[in-house]
Amino acid sequence: MADPILKITDLEVAVDDTPILKGVNLEIPQGEVHALMGPNGSGKSTLAYALAGHPRYEITGGSVLFGGEDLAEMEADERAQKGLFLAMQYPVEVPGVSVMNFLRTAVNATRGEEMPIREFAKLFKEKSALLQFDPSFADRYLNEGFSGGEKKRHEILQMALLEPKFAILDETDSGLDVDALRIVSEGVEAQRGPDLGVLIITHYTRILRYIKPDVVHVMFEGRIAQTGGPELAEHLEEQGYVEFGSHEPAHSPS
């Protein structure tokens, strides 16, 4: 087994002084895809934002090592430069900033050097085709007027351009129809490989039909309650989260 790119030990996180994560232990080796499932309010997105460095999410105990380094000692931009990427559940609109300018600025910032415009344009075209992302969106303002599927495709396009070492996909399947889910999933699968670790955070199992995880974890009440192989997702599809004290289903109602 490869060394873990992400090692979380007894992690505790509070939001506005309210404890949310209460001792999370999780290791994800480089090159593996892990799924983190659980009912609403179990702490899944809290983990994502704490790892990404959101200022509201305060690490109050435990440790997180990313590539062997203490993540808590890094600012949010440093985490990105080290190769950590977060695809948000609700991508924000940024009027006045074009998609092309945003993406080129992000690439330059994470690389720490200026990429020539022609080189970036070629890379943008190549990766846009991968995600079936209409190149005409390059001049539109970031996420403004985008459909849910277009916003999520843009997130995965950004991931493809930044080439992170580790990607956290926070409920990327939320609000997507079947076609958009397939395209986004294929975009993630196309980037799958030995140099990329992935944590898919999801409430439902449907995205895992397109992206088969190596390991599945269940979070409940701020802790990892169970870990297993892909068959655990199938079990949750049938049984939901009843055994963890919640009557929520693990399959989409649609």
Record the pTM: 0.91
Domain limits of the chain?
A: 4-244
Do the beta carbons of residue 15 and residue 180 sit within 8 Å? no
Using CA atoms, how far residue 202 sits from 41, 141, 208, in Å, is: 12, 28, 9
pLDDT tens, residue by residue, 73-121: 999 999 999 999 999 888 888 889 999 999 999 999 998 899 999 999 9
Q: What are phi and psi of 225, to 5 degrees?
A: -90, -25
Tokens of 180: 């958009």
- 253 has pLDDT over 60: no
Q: Which CATH class is domain 4-244?
A: alpha beta
pLDDT tens, residue by residue, 218-237: 999 999 999 999 999 999 98
pLDDT tens, residue by residue, 110-156: 988 999 999 999 999 999 887 788 888 889 999 999 988 889 889 99
Tokens of 185: 């999933």
The string of DSSP letters for 137-195 reads GGGSEETTT--HHHHHHHHHHHHHHH--SEEEEESTTTT--HHHHHHHHHHHHHH-STT
